Amino acid sequence: MLRAILIDDDQSNLSALSGKLLKHCPQIEIIGCCDNAEDGIKAIESSKPDIVFLDIEMPVMNGFVLLQQLKNRNFELIFVTAYDHYAIKAIKYSALDYLVKPVEIADLIAAVKKAEEFKNSRNSQLQIELLLEHLNNKQPKRITIPTSDGLRFINIEDIIYLEASNNYTNIFLSTNQKLLVSKTLKDFEEMLPADTFLRIHHATVINKYFVEKYIRGEGGQVVMRHGNVLDVSKRKKAEFLQAIGK
């Protein structure tokens, strides 16, 4: 069982979420429902839950400030938000989950299942620290990568390029490592800084600061600093050359 605390300033949202959890997620035991951040902090510190469902926008103190106030953040965290919040990108960087209100049953079940699987194998405290770091820094330095046995925290500047592999992505690092991640190339393209990472092919996104040479051709090729030679598609050629020129 996962002992859960729900925090949301709207009582109707608390009731709706708790009802869905009771009906569709039998592995969840709800040990507290709080309609403000201060009570949420007290409940988390006294009850030490396994998982927290946290609303982002609340009066007086929002969900992020609540997290900053906590001494112990050793719990699985699922954000619940009413809209496409400005912080969603930072949440994705940290590999944390979020649900959009009204919460869909399938999304809720999937998020709870993921939390259950990762409960004993990943450092949620470090994820939350990374999230808060991202929120305070417009140019995040690290990204969280889910792996088969937990999480990997890597420096963005160490990514040479990313390559699509069906619904997975291979990430090639300057440390001569290759990571296979169960996210699409589009997911990473949306997350990574657009002024640094360029899509040069339908299957390839590169870090422009690792480009050593461009070889002319119909689309051409780029030679990366570590010797990788990658094709540039004809359609992406002009966009790539303009970006490199900058």
Cα(50)–Cα(29) distance, integer angstroms: 10
- Name the nearest CA neighbour of 173 among 181, 182, 161, 187: 161
- Using CA atoms, how far apart are residues 11 and 24, in angstroms rounded to an integer? 20
Under 8 Å between Cβ of 175 and 183: no
Domains and CATH numbers, the chain: 2-136 (3.40.50.2300), 154-245 (2.40.50.1020)
Global pTM reads 0.74
CA distances from 209 to 129, 131, 160, 177 (A): 27, 25, 8, 18
CA 153, 128, 164 angle in degrees (round to 5)? 40
Largest CA distance in the chain: 65
Of 170, 179, 235, 237, the closest CA to residue 204 belongs to 170
Cβ count near 206 (within 10 Å): 27
Per-residue pLDDT tens digits for 62-93: 999 999 999 889 899 999 987 666 788 788 88
Residue found under tokens 């990473």:
188
Cα R_g (the chain), whole angstroms:
21
For the chain, what's the residue count? 246
Where do we find the tokens 């303009």?
242
How far are the Cα atoms of 62, 63, 197, 245 from residue 56, in angstroms, in the given order? Answer: 6, 4, 29, 40
Please report the pLDDT score of residue 178 as a whole number. Answer: 93
Full pLDDT tens readout for the chain, 246 residues: 899 999 999 999 999 999 999 999 999 999 999 999 999 999 999 999 999 999 999 999 999 999 999 988 989 999 998 766 678 878 888 888 999 999 999 999 999 998 888 776 557 888 888 888 888 876 678 888 877 777 788 999 999 999 999 889 999 999 999 999 988 999 999 889 889 999 999 999 999 999 999 999 998 999 999 899 999 999 999 999 999 885
The set of residues, in sequence order, having a beta carbon less than 8 Å from that of 27 and lying 6+ positions away, is: 1, 2, 112, 116
Write the CB contacts of 10 (distance below 8 Å, at least 6 apart in sequence).
35, 55
